[in-house]
Amino acid sequence: MRVKCGGSVIESKKAVKYLSITVDQKMNFIEHATLVHNKVSKTLRQLWHILPNMGGARESKRHLLVNVAMAQLLYGAPCWEADMGQSGWRKIEPLHRRIAILKVCAYRSVSYAAVAVVAGMPPIRLLAKERAELYDGLVREGIRRKLMENWQRSWNEDLKGRWTHRLIPKIDILVNRRHGEVGHWLCQFLTGHGSFGVYLVKWRRRSFDKCQLCGITPDTIEHVVYNCDA
């Protein structure tokens, strides 16, 4: 629809951008999620080139670089967190999973729940809600405690990443540690996704699942940790 006013033409649009936040007709911020998806995807493609899993930067440096993408992802969260539609979250959550994967050199097959724990990055929905509550002036310590409780509950109930849950049942112990970084090889141990016979056969990287060190079948993460004597 077009309207003429004093010689100027005003044209209606399906969405309007204000301070880099896109508001659509239904006020569910789907259009905003789409634009954020495109922007963050471009940033991640650039980061993939300079942050290889093997021979790349350490986790502390990766943390600094991936925070660029996190800032783009969470920009304006107090405005859209409560009203974001499910299709919008489905665009944003995979991006956060990719950020966590990039931070700890994980394989792309690792579940969102597991890689978020290994990376020490709370799920994006909880982070967005935390930003909104901080904006409302609530006490920071109480907000973070609530986030950790909700994250722990979700982690306990999730059906994926159960090997990681066996190793890291209490998230706060990992998140609040004062030393140690997660790299490519440690991430394989923590997630169970890596150079293991069963995993390689599943992804058609090998035709057999026998352990190449001791010859026992199947070569799983449990076998490597508990049984392999090579």
Q: Ramachandran region of residue 204, left (φ > 0), alpha (ψ -120 to 50) or beta?
A: left
pLDDT band at 139 (very low <50, low <70, confident <90, very high): confident
Residue 51 has pLDDT above 80, yes or no: yes
- Residue 94 above 90 pLDDT? yes
The distance between the two most distant Cα atoms of the chain, rounded to a whole number of Å, is 85
Which pLDDT does position 210 carry in this prediction? 87
Q: How many CA atoms lie within 13 A of 78 on its CB side?
A: 8
Average pLDDT estimate for 137-163 = 92
Check: CB of residue 76 under 8 Å from CB of residue 20: yes
- Asked if pLDDT for residue 176 goes beyond 70, the answer is yes
As a whole number of angstroms, the distance between CA 130 and CA 12 comes to 34
120: left (phi over 0), alpha (psi -120 to 50) or beta: left
More confident residue, 138 or 39: 39
For the chain, the structural domain boundaries read 20-181, 195-230
Position 17 scores a pLDDT of 81
Is residue 42 predicted with pLDDT exceeding 70? yes
Q: Which helix (H) or strand (E) holds 10?
A: strand 8-11
CA–CA separation, 81 vs 126, rounded Å? 10
Mean pLDDT of 158-176: 95
Q: What is the pLDDT of residue 159?
A: 95
pLDDT exceeds 80 at position 9: no
Q: How far apart are CA 106 and CA 117, in angstroms?
A: 12
Q: Tokens representing 3?
A: 């309207």
Rounded to whole angstroms, the Cα distance separating 64 from 72 reads: 14
The lowest-confidence range among 103-112, 157-166, 176-185 is 176-185
Task: Report, as an integer, the average pLDDT of 7-13.
Answer: 71
**pLDDT tier at 78, thresholds 50, 70, 90:** very high
